[in-house]
Amino acid sequence: MKDISDGMIYTCKFSEFKPLTPIPDFIDEDNLQEFRDFAPYNFMTDKSCEEINMAIAKWAGLDT
């Protein structure tokens, strides 16, 4: 971090942080192109909305 920032602001101790929960089916036809525009080198940009949302759930550990 020292190479990319001058410091950090902590809102609580790291042990008190809560994991983020992704919004189910967040990527849809209305924002798919925006996702592709902002993540042009992401290997998911050629996937369908369903495939992207399934991958997000899997990465968050919600696919069990």
pLDDT one-digit tens code per residue, 11-57: 888 888 887 788 999 999 999 999 999 987 788 899 999 999 999 89
- Supply the pLDDT for residue 51: 95
- Supply the pLDDT for residue 17: 83
DSSP state of 43: T
The C-alpha torsion from 20 through 24 and 30 to 31, rounded to 10°, is 30
Instruction: For residue 63, give the nearest of 20, 22, 32 by alpha carbon.
Output: 22
- Supply the pLDDT for residue 64: 53
pTM above 0.85, yes or no: no
CB 32 within 8 A of CB 49: yes
- Supply the pLDDT for residue 59: 87
Report domain extents, the chain. Answer: 19-59
